[in-house]
Amino acid sequence: MSATDAAAFWDGVYAARTTPDAPRPNVRLVGAVADLPPGDALDLGCGSGGDALWLARRGWRVTAVDISGVAAERLAAHARAHGLGDRVDAVRHDLRASFPEGRFDLVSAHYLHTPLGLDRAEVLRAAAHALRPGGRLLVVDHGSTAPWSWDQDPAVRYPAPEEVAADLALDPATWRVERAEAARRTATGPDGRTAEVVDHVLLVRRAG
């Protein structure tokens, strides 16, 4: 699939959703980051923007990227409306072609799943290398299929966090896995439905 087709696919996904005035952050981000001092953050696949806005409110400077121009433009508008335009840089970016420039104290990749042939291991490896010493890479993946997911393939397999970490092939002398677990929670979908879902959580820290 071409870059144009991939962008069009995700533009369609986000255009079909009603974005709330105050998008909620992902609960795994809140739990992992709430006690960290603010710095520079990179939000990979920012989607509706709840994570980027939450980080910005807590003092982080956030680069938020998504292949969907619809998602990036909506997030930029939300940030300006909430007085956070100087802390959120929302841009369209195709991670299949390049990785955002800069050094970060936090890289967050929540549900970076796509049917479009993205080499996730390569992207997440680049994210780990983009961390400053002491910085953290937080990867939260689906461990189950929610009723409202765009992907309802019953044959889909979700790799365990330990498998994701192994695929990154990071030098343990430089990067240490701080957390790798499957966690259950009750989630609320875009249409208000609730369901129990499983999150696969991987937290990697670069040596200080």
Give the span between the Cα atoms of 62 and 101, in whole angstroms: 13
Per-residue pLDDT tens over the stretch 52-87: 999 999 999 999 999 999 999 999 999 999 999 999
Phi, psi of 48 (to 5 degrees): -70, -15
pLDDT at residue 74 in the model? 94
Sheet arrangement for strand 61-66: 88-92, 61-66, 40-44, 104-110, 131-142, 194-206, 175-188
Per-residue pLDDT tens over the stretch 3-27: 678 888 889 988 888 777 778 999 9
- Among the residue ranges 30-44, 168-182, 190-204, the one predicted with the least confidence is 190-204
Per-residue pLDDT tens over the stretch 91-132: 999 998 999 999 999 999 999 987 777 899 999 999 999 999
Nearest to 99 by CA among 77, 120, 71: 120
- Domain residues of the chain, as ranges? 3-206
Residue range 3-206, CATH number: 3.40.50.150
Dihedral angle, C-alpha 140, 163, 128, 32, nearest 10 °? 30
